[in-house]
């Protein structure tokens, strides 16, 4: 019989999407609490998970010995301290992006996870979609070949209503701008599919909204497998779309444009050798079904905690690399230079990229 894991969600904003993910997996998870300082939001979240309890006291949640997993969907500035607090309470942790605001904080989280023998699962839900799964399957089967060029577009429409949450658009609350809050997922796909990023150059600016942090960026990157990557980011688009396009030795891949879930369909896969297109199409068709987005990642979390078979689960090391990339991009933009990765242990932004 499958063991159900008792989970508590902290934060019922983006946490509502997490709650709906767990609700798709009632045989794997028991949502015990939905915790939010806003009682009405906590109640609305709990209504999406029958049997769960709305609560405003996170300490009470952490004190419940039946809660095995805590899912943190809090403002970014709280991610690292609350992850450390949950680990010390003996809980496994799922944490929304960004896991932390510095390499030093991620290292502390990694040390704490080892000390308390708990797991930390960073959220990268773009990996859980039929299109991306098919792309990764083609890579595993050797049908992609060498990566040549990848082009990313994160073109969203963010206006005053989005920034009504006081912590958004601030260095202290959001820990950064569009690099941190919007493009982080697409950049993770690059590293997973075309190799870890080894060099970056960046132009960033605040051009759309009256906020502290950046809302536009033009980035250039190179990966360990030799791919050249361009990433175009703006929060001033007419409507919100994301797109991932990758040119490999044997294949051109183009994603759909669904903004919140670029990993889903419809993706197109065009073989450079037309004689292999039928083989490619057959592999792609195998990935039309499955559990995707947050539910897909949570199913892998359950598998990791219960010894089952997992597929695409992002690691804590990948969270470190994600924060390292953000650090390098801010360094490159501010100092107008190409920055190489991995960063040295004495990098001046190791303890954070927030302006002085």
Last residue of a domain, one of 290, 317, 340: 290
What pLDDT is attached to residue 309? Answer: 75
What pLDDT is attached to residue 29? Answer: 97
Regarding whether 237 and 148 lie in a shared domain, the answer is yes
Regarding whether 73 and 136 lie in a shared domain, the answer is no
Q: Do the domain assignments include residue 261?
A: yes
Across 310-330, average pLDDT: 93
Q: Do the domain assignments include residue 121?
A: yes
Residue-wise DSSP of 298-325: HHHHHHHHHT---SSPPPHHHHHHHHHH
**Phi, then psi, of 347 in degrees rounded to 5:** -60, 140
Angle 136-118-126 from CA coordinates, rounded to 5°: 25
Residue 305 makes CB contacts below 8 A (sequence gap 6+) with 5, 68, 69, 92, 119
Task: Please state the domain count of the chain.
Answer: 2
Which tens digits make up the pLDDT trace of 153-175?
A: 999 999 999 999 899 999 999 99
- How far, in Å, CA of 287 to CA of 214, rounded? 37
Regarding whether 20 and 103 lie in a shared domain, the answer is yes
Last residue of a domain, one of 263, 290, 317: 290
Q: Do the domain assignments include residue 194?
A: yes
Regarding whether 157 and 49 lie in a shared domain, the answer is no
Q: Do the domain assignments include residue 310?
A: no
Q: What is the mean pLDDT of the chain?
A: 95
What pLDDT is attached to residue 203? Answer: 98
What pLDDT is attached to residue 174? Answer: 95
What percentage of the chain reaches a pLDDT higher than 90?
Answer: 88
What pLDDT is attached to residue 235? Answer: 98
Specify the higher pLDDT residue, 228 or 2. Answer: 228
180, containing H or E segment: helix 178-181
What pLDDT is attached to residue 308? Answer: 82
SS3 state at 235:
coil
Q: Do the domain assignments include residue 162?
A: yes
Regarding whether 213 and 79 lie in a shared domain, the answer is no
What pLDDT is attached to residue 318? Answer: 93
Regarding whether 140 and 226 lie in a shared domain, the answer is yes
Q: How confident is residue 304, by pLDDT bands cut at 50, 70 and 90?
A: very high
100: domain CATH number is 3.40.50.720
Last residue of a domain, one of 125, 155, 182: 125
Residue 40 makes CB contacts below 8 A (sequence gap 6+) with none
Regarding whether 76 and 134 lie in a shared domain, the answer is no
Regarding whether 101 and 148 lie in a shared domain, the answer is no
Residue 119 makes CB contacts below 8 A (sequence gap 6+) with 92, 93, 113, 304, 305
- How far, in Å, CA of 268 to CA of 139, rounded? 15
Which tens digits make up the pLDDT trace of 203-224?
A: 999 999 999 999 999 999 999 9
Q: Is the pLDDT of residue 192 over 90?
A: no
Regarding whether 145 and 71 lie in a shared domain, the answer is no
Regarding whether 136 and 88 lie in a shared domain, the answer is no
Alpha carbon 31 to chain centroid distance?
A: 22
Which tens digits make up the pLDDT trace of 233-280?
A: 999 999 999 999 999 999 999 999 988 888 877 899 999 999 999 999
Regarding whether 144 and 77 lie in a shared domain, the answer is no
| Range list of β-strands (E), 209-272 | 216-223, 228-234, 236-248, 251-254, 268-271
Range of 258's domain? 126-290
Q: Do the domain assignments include residue 345?
A: no
Which tens digits make up the pLDDT trace of 86-107?
A: 999 999 999 999 999 999 999 9
Q: Do the domain assignments include residue 350?
A: no
223: domain CATH number is 3.30.360.10
Regarding whether 92 and 12 lie in a shared domain, the answer is yes
Q: Do the domain assignments include residue 298?
A: no
**What letter does residue 92 receive in the DSSP assignment?**
E
């Amino acid at each position: 019989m499958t063991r159900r894991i008792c989970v508590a969600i902290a934060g019922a904003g983006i946490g509502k999407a997490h709650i709906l993910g767990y609700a798709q997996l009632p045989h794997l998870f028991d949502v015990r609490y939905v915790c939010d300082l806003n009682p009405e939001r906590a109640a609305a979240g709990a209504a999406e998970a029958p049997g769960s309890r709305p609560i405003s006291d996170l300490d009470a949640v952490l004190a419940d010995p039946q809660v095995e997993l805590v899912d943190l969907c809090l403002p970014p500035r709280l991610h690292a301290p609350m992850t450390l607090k949950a680990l010390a309470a003996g809980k496994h942790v799922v944490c929304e992006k960004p896991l932390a605001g510095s390499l030093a904080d991620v290292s502390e989280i990694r040390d704490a996870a080892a000390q308390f023998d708990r797991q930390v699962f960073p959220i990268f839900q773009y990996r859980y979609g039929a299109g991306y799964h098919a792309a990764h399957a083609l890579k595993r089967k050797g049908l992609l070949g060498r990566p040549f060029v990848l082009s990313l577009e994160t073109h969203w429409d963010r206006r005053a209503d989005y920034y009504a949450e006081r912590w958004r658009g601030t260095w202290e609350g959001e820990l950064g701008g569009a690099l941190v809050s919007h493009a982080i997922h697409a950049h993770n796909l690059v590293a997973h599919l075309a190799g870890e990023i080894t060099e970056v150059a960046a132009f960033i600016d605040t051009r759309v909204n009256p906020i502290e942090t950046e809302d536009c960026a033009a980035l250039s990157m190179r990966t360990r497998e030799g791919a050249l990557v361009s990433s175009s980011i703006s929060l001033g688009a007419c409507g919100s779309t994301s797109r991932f396009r990758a040119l490999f030795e044997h294949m051109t891949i183009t994603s759909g444009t669904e903004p919140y879930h670029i990993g889903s369909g419809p993706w197109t896969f065009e073989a450079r050798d037309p004689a292999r297109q039928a083989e490619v199409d057959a592999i792609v068709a195998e990935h039309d079904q499955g559990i995707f987005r947050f539910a897909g990642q949570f199913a892998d979390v359950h598998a990791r905690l219960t010894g089952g078979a997992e597929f695409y689960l992002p690691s804590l090391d990948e969270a470190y690399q994600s924060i390292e990339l953000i650090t390098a991009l801010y360094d490159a933009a501010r100092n107008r230079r190409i920055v190489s990765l991995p960063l040295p242990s004495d990098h001046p932004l190791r303890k954070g990229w927030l302006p002085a």
